[in-house]
Amino acid sequence: MSGSVVDNTVSSGNSSAAIPTDVSGQILDLDEDDDLEVFSKDTTLTDGSSFNASMQTSPASMINQYKFEEDADTKDIFVTVDNPESHVTAIETYITYRVMTKTTRSEFDSSEFEVRRRYQDFLWLKGRLEEAHPTLIVHPLPEKFVVKGMVERFNEDFIETRRRALHRFLNKIAEHPIFSSSEDFKIFLTAASGELTSHKKQGPGFLSRMGDTVKAVAAAVRGVRNRPQEFTEMQEYVEAFSQKIISLDKVTQRIVREQKEYLEELKECGPTYALWSQSEEELAEPLKNVAGCVDRCCKETEEQVKNLSDHLIPVLHEYVLCADTLKAVLRRRDNIQADFEAKTEALATKKANRDTESKVLSLAWASLVGRSPEEVKQQKLKGEIKEMRDDLDKAEDRLEWANNALKSDWTRWQKVMRTDLRSAFVDTAERNVSYYEKCLAVWESFLHSQRTDAEGNGKVDFS
């Protein structure tokens, strides 16, 4: 492992390197460079058909392994994602981010590390966690955008949005009692670029991944016959949650778009009042005051739109993607159960075939070798049945492990989700109150000035 010790000053500056605009088509071919992402819906990197041999599979160990700690004060690893840098080569353009880690864990060689990572490194980490723990809930990554129009938005605001999402992803992993102890997570945080590249090549090969995909498709076609009620209820909850959060996300984005349009109209309004004041001598003062009030409200509205874009929309969209992740996790759990059910049926069929085989003996063959072909066949069937029974026992343990893991992580995810959304809603409410109070104060000051002028001139009664 290698990593550099860093100082305690954390900067979050953005790179000023220019990003060239490609205008040669409508779709940008990124190949393996997945660095045009804002949020990721790629939640099916693993299907639950592969199994990590290092996992504990006894029922007792499953329960002990997935006792999730709820005490936030025990957090002992802190990660910061900042300082994005643009890299332009002859074949690709991509962004790297500085990942700074501070920890008191004894398994780390140092207390502080600093590395640089690009998006495909984050994607690798997510895939490895899903592969090792198919029914635990991995927080979603920023989404991929490969439409060429996104390149024009490859600016500081776009990069900052992505940086925040990556920062939140790593901190969700760091807060997870199982993921935070993963060797892959440790390597991600501490390994030099070359060492990480070497480690990434140690994953399953293409043929192995293809085999897992074929098994997943077969399991999906076969389906689950006896899904436990609690997982059916989870599935129903996720479907309802997904519909609601998607709707809320769309409505909020539409509100922000409309507020931006309102802001543009408001920006044109102030100068109009100011220009008008030059031709209306008796109304000049109130017109100038209205123009000033409009300008002040423009600034507050601009800040309000920014707050919604930076704080509420990312959280809502993040949980839209979380819903997709949950659906993928439930599918992987179903695939594991479908595999167990298929093995159960195969063993029952094999036993039935053995019991119904004919008992005709061949005396000629028996005189030569001492056993009939039927005896040889029965012995072979007995060996196959034993092998299938052992395989079935492993599948049963794996299913129990998967169920226990999901039930524990489901409870934890719900608690985190409710905390995140409640915090976002309270923060939005407080910012809304502040926004409307400031605008109210602006217009009240205008009314007060007009009342004072009117009373001084004795012209208008505002009572």
pLDDT tens across 297-336, in order?
Answer: 999 999 999 999 999 999 999 999 999 999 999 999 999 9
The pTM (predicted TM-score) of the whole model is 0.76
- Residue 80: name the closest of 4, 166, 186, 192 by CA: 166
CA distances from 337 to 45, 59, 347, 402, 416 (A): 19, 16, 15, 9, 27
CA distances from 65 to 4, 53, 61, 226, 423 (A): 32, 15, 6, 26, 30
pLDDT the model gives residue 401: 95
What would the mean pLDDT of 39-58 be, rounded to a whole number? 47
Name the token pair of 110: 């140092």
pLDDT the model gives residue 386: 87
pLDDT the model gives residue 138: 97
Question: 367 vs 390, which has greater pLDDT?
Answer: 390
CA distances from 102 to 14, 74, 99 (A): 22, 14, 10
- Across the beta sheet with 93-103, the strand order is 77-88, 93-103, 112-118
pLDDT reading at 414 higher than 90: yes
Correct CATH for 219-357+382-453 of 1.20.1270.60, 1.25.40.20, 3.40.50.720, 3.40.50.300: 1.20.1270.60
What would the mean pLDDT of 104-132 be, rounded to a whole number? 94
Every domain of the chain and the residues it spans: 219-357+382-453
Name the token pair of 4: 């550099």
Contact 126, 34 (CB under 8 A): no
